[in-house]
Amino acid sequence: MKKMIFKNSVAAAARSAAMETENHVKHGISSKSLMSRGNFLSMLSFCLLSVFVIFYGCDNDDNDENVLPPEEEEEMVTVSMKAVGELTYSEATLVRNNEGSAKPLWGIQVYIALDKEPEREFEYQEATKVAHGVFDDISKVTLTLNKNRKHSIEVTYMPNGQNEIHYYGPSNDYWEVPFNTIDWTNTPMNQVIYSPSDYIYGLGGGMNTPAGDENYRVRSVYNEMDRYYGFVAEYTPIEGGTIEIDMKRTVFGLTFVGAKVDGFTYDQIMITLNADHLMVDGRKLYTLNVDNSQSTSQLVIPFICILDVRKSALEPTYVETLKVSVGIENNRSMFFYGDVNIKRNTMHTYTFNMEPPSVANSSVKAIFSDGEMANETMELID
């Protein structure tokens, strides 16, 4: 209630009635004649005026508090989702045979879109959180959204996610990275959870917690997991509409081919993928078993989840740098140590000769300069 309106109006009416009564008394009119000459009507008018002011003030106050500007009104509609684009295709060089045991996992996060470049991480991560959920089938997803707002939708899909990502259950019904929420709340399968604060935060990064790893702190990168990412920067819901998400495959493949050189024999080659320089747990060690009866031996790593999933999907020219060393057990950098550039959805093949680099024997000699100490005079300046 607007107390100022009520107080000022009543006070003014009271002063008016008091002044009228005082004037009548000053002119010698009795209270009885005063009543008979209209004081009753004046008092009745005052009462009606007071009641009107009270109700008018309350009504205005309610209107001010409950009526929102048109752009802030909520009018909810229901929409569905489907994936389009690369999700329907697969490249022969990157196909994994799951023998019918693959169990897909989808993670979905919805935000209110910001006005400025909502596709940038720091822009939309700070936006209002709307809804999230984990699903085994994207066709089961329906969202109830405010049709007067634009939304950003982020999606990660792992074709074999239920077998590859650690799951806490059944007492705790939630998944590990990249499908966990910021507050570690339960995310029952195929259920949309509407929340303005809690959200799934790992969908855009390449960090994963492999299945069976009960220590949630052990989250690593460059795991052999197939993965897709999609993002819609601005979507205005319409009743019965469908959100089309263009899913991009965010993995790469590596093939190392060792060419045999006469006079050098190795049983194993050690290959290390190292992301430790990026301040994450990312050292992966592989062994290439050498077949000395063949001219070449090769190691194929068909699926590696790229480190920056979001950028690799949204920036067509994105290239990621990976540090690689190739050697033997006692010298893992013997054949090669350095950076290689990788692109999403691409098999990269590197060939090296199984021959140690040529070396030269060198001795160490110390050289001294035996000159006398030089005198140096400095002038003190006040």
> How does pLDDT run across 230-244, given as a tens digit for each residue?
999 888 999 999 999
Residue 95 scores a pLDDT above 60: no
The answer to whether residues 221 and 275 touch, using CB atoms and an 8 Å cutoff, is yes
DSSP conformation class of 165: B
What rounded mean pLDDT belongs to the chain?
A: 74
The answer to whether residues 162 and 134 touch, using CB atoms and an 8 Å cutoff, is no
How is the beta sheet containing 193-194 ordered, strand by strand? Answer: 142-146, 76-85, 242-249, 228-235, 151-158, 105-112, 129-135, 193-194
Q: What is the mean pLDDT of residues 297-309?
A: 92
Confidence of residue 214 (pLDDT cuts 50, 70, 90): low
- Residue whose token pair is 């009416």: 13
Q: Which of 246, 224, 109 is nearest to 165 (CA)?
A: 224
Residue 5 scores a pLDDT above 50: no
- Residue whose token pair is 């690593």: 220
Residue 216 scores a pLDDT above 60: no
Kindly state the helix (H) or strand (E) to which residue 257 belongs, with its residue range: strand 251-259
> How does pLDDT run across 167-210, given as a tens digit for each residue?
987 778 989 999 999 988 999 999 999 998 899 989 999 988 88
Q: What is the mean pLDDT of residues 129-142?
A: 92
Q: What is the mean pLDDT of residues 67-76?
A: 59
Confidence of residue 340 (pLDDT cuts 50, 70, 90): confident
DSSP conformation class of 137: -
Confidence of residue 48 (pLDDT cuts 50, 70, 90): low
User: Measured between alpha carbons, how far is residue 220 from residues 201, 241, 305 in Å?
Assistant: 16, 38, 10
| Residue 312 to residue 11: CA distance in whole angstroms | 71
Contacts 24+ apart (CB under 8 A), 47-54: 49/9, 49/13, 50/9, 50/10, 50/13, 53/5, 53/6, 53/9, 53/10, 54/6
Residue 57 scores a pLDDT above 70: no
| Residue 270 to residue 283: CA distance in whole angstroms | 13
> How does pLDDT run across 245-284, given as a tens digit for each residue?
999 999 999 888 888 888 778 899 999 998 665 555 567 8
298-309: string of b/e by CB count within 10 Å (b at 16+)? ebebbbbbbbbb
**Per-residue confidence (pLDDT) for residue 163, from 0 to 100:** 93
Confidence of residue 119 (pLDDT cuts 50, 70, 90): low
